[in-house]
Amino acid sequence: MARNDYVTIGNTTYYADNDGRLMSVIQYHNIEWAGQPNNFFCGPTSGYMILRNVGAWTSARGDGLSIENVATYMETRRYGFTSLQDRKFQQGMNDWLGDSIYTTIHTPSYAQVRSAVLSSYETGYATAVDAMERRGGPHYNGHNNGTFAHIMVVDGYNSQTDAVYLVDPGAGVLWPSGSQHFWYSSLQAFTTIYLQTEYYSDGKEHIGIYYAVK
């Protein structure tokens, strides 16, 4: 391998510096995309993709892996959404895994998000983002010009450029021009724009990240 060049080994892309030392710069979970089956199952579908990626084919209670079953664990149908306020994504993942793997951070700092993403390549459990877009502000990946929140999975991260590689369960299903996997140029910008500002003034928590602590 030449110096000042990239090489990919397994799930990690390395960069060889002038001295030939390898630095891991792009890491992936290699999440296989799944489309959400309806308009409010972005949370269960994201959870399903993460669980499938780690081979959690059966829950701790013996249920087979499906989006619908994950939704049941997250109580998504009962609520009509996946509640960050009540930590239902976290609860559903942990109940499925039979261990307190996932936790939630409401309106996280960039440092918290970056740390969560980087540590996910050690735990093996991908991080999910619960992001809010607002009408009159920027949107991404072909999303419509409305106001809503959406849950996606963080697949890859380039620690050199800060670019983040996301898996969007609504791509094609809800937004025809969206890509199932897409790069967003800056995790810091994504965090600032979509994860840190609560636009609803109802006193509840709606946006943040879900990540594995072990």
Residues that bind other proteins (CB under 8 A): 36, 38-40, 42-43, 79-84, 130, 134-151, 170-180, 182-184, 189, 192-193, 199-202, 204, 206
Q: How far is the CB of 58 from other proteins (least distance, A)?
A: 26
Identify the CA nearest to 162 among candidates 12, 26, 15: 26
The string of DSSP codes covering 127-166 is EEEEEEE-TTS---TT--SS-EEEEEEEEEEETTT--EEE
Q: How far is the CB of 51 from other proteins (least distance, A)?
A: 18
Q: How far is the CB of 157 from other proteins (least distance, A)?
A: 17
Beta strands in the chain (DSSP E): 5-9, 12-16, 22-28, 102-106, 127-133, 148-158, 164-167, 181-184, 208-212
Q: Is 82 exposed, middle or buried (0-12, 13-18, 19+ CB in 10 A)?
A: buried
Smaller CB distance to other proteins: residue 119 or 179? 179
Smaller CB distance to other proteins: residue 59 or 83? 83
Whose tokens are 């996280």? That residue is 108
Whole-angstrom Cα distance, residue 118 to residue 123? 9
Instruction: Give yes or no for a contact between 97 and 60, defined as CB atoms under 8 angstroms apart.
Output: yes
Q: How far is the CB of 134 from other proteins (least distance, A)?
A: 7
Smaller CB distance to other proteins: residue 18 or 201? 201
Smaller CB distance to other proteins: residue 81 or 121? 81
Smaller CB distance to other proteins: residue 52 or 139? 139
Q: How far is the CB of 178 from other proteins (least distance, A)?
A: 8
DSSP state of 171: B
